Amino acid sequence: MNIDSARKLYPEAKQLAGLVSDEWTESYDTKNSVAQICVRDSATGEVDPIANVLPSCSFDDRILMTKAPVLIRALVAICERSFEEIRRLKPKEKKKFTEANRCGKWCHDNFMFARWLTLATGLHDASDAERIKTHVRFLLKVESLSEIDTKSEAAGAWRKMRSDFEAWNRSQNANHQRGS
């Protein structure tokens, strides 16, 4: 069996592991002279046959049939524990830092961006991040900053705004260095 086939069968094996009887056993029906796979009723202790085993069934196949419920549960338990360990050890994916993230961050904690918006775009009140974001959304003609990552017009407007701000910021830094 290849891994793809096994993956497809795993959910069914997991489901069946929880549904089948706890344990099967082998018995022999002396009246009909036939070996049987039986299930023990956990409430009464009675052994009830669920399958006849033909004489052509090998010893190994008979053992497998008898132990199938326990073996399936054991394999499912090992797989589930392995999956937990893989999830635990798997490095957390870092969230991709998008242009919308950058814009939001600048609106929230970039004093120079807020100052530039005030001087260059007519922002009247840069006292908090929400006012800054509202103004930037207005300038970019978007309802949400996430549109910077999904709509080409918004992305283009943001690139232009970012470029203008970065050029202004470089000139401010250059003026500051010359004045120091």
Contact 147, 159 (CB under 8 A): no
For residues 93-99, give the mean pLDDT: 83
CB 52 within 8 A of CB 39: no
pLDDT-above-70 percentage for the chain: 97
Q: Where are the domains of the chain?
A: 3-89, 99-179
Residue 61: C-alpha distances to residues 21, 48, 65, 88, 143 (Å): 19, 20, 6, 37, 66
What does pTM read for this prediction?
A: 0.49
**Are the CB atoms for 35 and 62 separated by under 8 Å?**
yes
Confidence of residue 175 (pLDDT cuts 50, 70, 90): confident
- Model confidence over 114-127: pLDDT tens digits? 999 999 998 888 88
Compare 142 and 94 and report the one with higher pLDDT: 142
Would you call 126 helix, strand, or coil by DSSP?
A: coil
**Model confidence over 26-77: pLDDT tens digits?**
999 999 999 999 998 878 888 899 999 999 999 999 999 999 999 999 999 9
For helices 99-109 and 152-179, what crossing angle results, to 10°?
A: 50
C-alpha to C-alpha distances, 15 to 10, 11, 41, 72, 122, nearest whole angstrom: 9, 6, 21, 10, 64
Residue type, 101: N
